[in-house]
């Protein structure tokens, strides 16, 4: 008789097969980069997205995106399918009620920001103030997914004299560290453009990371709860900034910070300009897209992340459900034409929704964030506010 593998052996085999599949992604980095870059250069104009250039730089930046995806897949532990299914079942318990809520009810007004601690710091020549304040809770229906609550933290470069406009930058996934002050040009924005510059640290990032909690992870409720908490924290900051000095406020977000910026701009009338750089509109759809490369197990998990209960819960952090209060010409989208981490189509959807200017960058997601051309476009846009 042939013995039937037990559940533990089958689970181990699935993990082994999944690990082999994920390791094979490294071998596919360059072929995928060449093929996708070639495809982007032949994109039909009817899509509303212009074709990209095709050359060594485009292939190199696309390969960087692909390497990031492969590395992320290798390093990130994927839970068992049954565990993820249980997470989706939790979404089903509250999903329909959350979807029925208007955005302003799903994201209730935060209480007044109260500073708990203020510390003056320096990073090289850049002097800033770190402020800690109480983190506002998200909607009560999301609290079951909120596995950690830490004090909200923000780094501020503020001019002593009044009358300077405000610029609040929201980082992407895996950021929120002190080096954001360098990569996001804090000194230039503060000294050269004259902004008061504000860098919040989103929940689950930087010094707010908690042991055993991964964001983004494979628990959709936790992902949405932390995102909603981040939205509430940034809204509290915007109101605090306006109370400090009621000058024009610009809110910008990069990658995963893009939809946070968009939602805040739609809920807070004080925001007069908004910027979304290579925005990731739907976290779970993006994760599902990349999981499709992971064999049968990856496809099964992707189906779970694209299920109706997950979409219902995610609807409360959907930036396409709000329209910024800023005038259309003060809504900038930066889209990377070879974006493999998120999707240029996602950026185009946000651009179409906003009806504002768009900067098309002929390169990848990571390259776009670091590009001098993108920085110049942001500088031009920000300069018009000063």
Residue 308 forms part of a structural domain: no
Residue 66 forms part of a structural domain: no
Residue 104 forms part of a structural domain: no
Per the structure, the complete domain to which residue 339 belongs is given by 109-281+322-383
Q: What is the mean pLDDT of residues 6-30?
A: 59
Cis ω before 375 (30° cut-off from 0): no
What does R_g of the chain's alpha carbons equal in angstroms?
Answer: 21
Q: What is the mean pLDDT of residues 10-20?
A: 49
Residue 349 forms part of a structural domain: yes
Chain segment 129-153, per-residue pLDDT in tens: 999 999 999 999 998 766 666 789 9
Domain of 337: which CATH number?
Answer: 3.40.50.1820
- pTM for the model: 0.91
Q: Tokens 């930066």 belong to which residue?
A: 334
The residue length of the chain stands at 386
Q: How far apart are CA 43 and CA 52, in angstroms?
A: 8
Question: Which is higher by pLDDT, 76 or 178?
Answer: 178
Q: What is the mean pLDDT of residues 3-24?
A: 52
The percent of residues above 90 in pLDDT, for the chain, comes to 74
Residue 194 forms part of a structural domain: yes
What pLDDT band is residue 263 in, cutting at 50, 70 and 90?
very high
Q: How far apart are CA 298 and CA 349, in angstroms?
A: 26
What mean pLDDT is reported for the chain? 90
Give how many domains the chain has, as a whole number: 1
Residue 205 forms part of a structural domain: yes
Question: Which is higher by pLDDT, 198 or 25?
Answer: 198
Report how far apart the first and last C-alpha atoms of the chain are (Å, whole number).
80
What pLDDT band is residue 2 in, cutting at 50, 70 and 90?
very low
Residue 60 forms part of a structural domain: no
Residue 310 forms part of a structural domain: no
């Amino acid at each position: 008789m042939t013995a039937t593998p037990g559940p533990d052996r089958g689970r181990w085999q699935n993990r082994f097969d999944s690990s082999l599949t994920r390791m094979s992604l490294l071998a596919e980095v360059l072929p995928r980069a060449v093929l996708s870059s070639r495809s982007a250069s032949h994109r039909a104009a009817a899509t509303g997205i212009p074709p990209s250039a095709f050359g060594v730089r485009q292939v190199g930046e696309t390969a960087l995106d692909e390497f990031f995806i492969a590395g992320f897949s290798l390093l990130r532990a994927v839970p068992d399918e049954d565990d993820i299914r249980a997470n989706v079942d939790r979404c089903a318990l509250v999903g329909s009620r959350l979807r029925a809520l208007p955005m302003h009810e799903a994201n209730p007004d935060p209480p007044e920001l109260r500073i708990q601690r203020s510390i003056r710091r320096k990073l090289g020549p850049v002097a800033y103030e770190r402020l800690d304040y109480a983190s506002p809770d998200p909607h009560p229906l999301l609290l079951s997914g909120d596995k950690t609550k830490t004090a909200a933290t923000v780094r501020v470069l503020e001019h002593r004299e009044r009358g300077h406009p405000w610029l609040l930058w929201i980082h992407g996934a895996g950021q929120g560290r002190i080096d954001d002050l360098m990569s996001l040009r804090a000194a230039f924005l503060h000294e050269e453009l004259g902004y008061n510059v504000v860098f919040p640290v989103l929940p689950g990032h930087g010094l707010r990371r908690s042991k055993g909690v991964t964001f983004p992870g494979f628990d959709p409720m936790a992902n949405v709860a932390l995102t909603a908490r981040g939205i509430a924290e940034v809204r509290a900051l915007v109101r605090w900034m306006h109370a400090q000095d009621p000058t024009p406020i610009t809110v910008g977000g990069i990658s995963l910070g893009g939809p946070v910026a968009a939602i805040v701009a739609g809920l807070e009338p004080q925001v007069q300009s908004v910027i979304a750089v290579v925005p990731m509109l739907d976290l779970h759809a993006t994760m599902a897209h990349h999981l499709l490369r992971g064999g049968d197990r990856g496809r099964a998990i992707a189906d779970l992340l694209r299920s109706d209960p997950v979409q219902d819960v995610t609807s409360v952090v959907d930036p396409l459900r709000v329209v910024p209060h800023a005038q259309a010409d003060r809504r900038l989208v930066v889209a990377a034409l070879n974006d493999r981490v998120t999707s240029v189509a996602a950026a185009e959807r946000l651009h179409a929704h906003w009806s504002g200017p768009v900067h098309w960058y002929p390169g990848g997601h990571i390259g776009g964030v670091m590009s001098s051309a993108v920085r110049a476009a942001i500088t031009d846009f920000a300069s018009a506010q000063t």
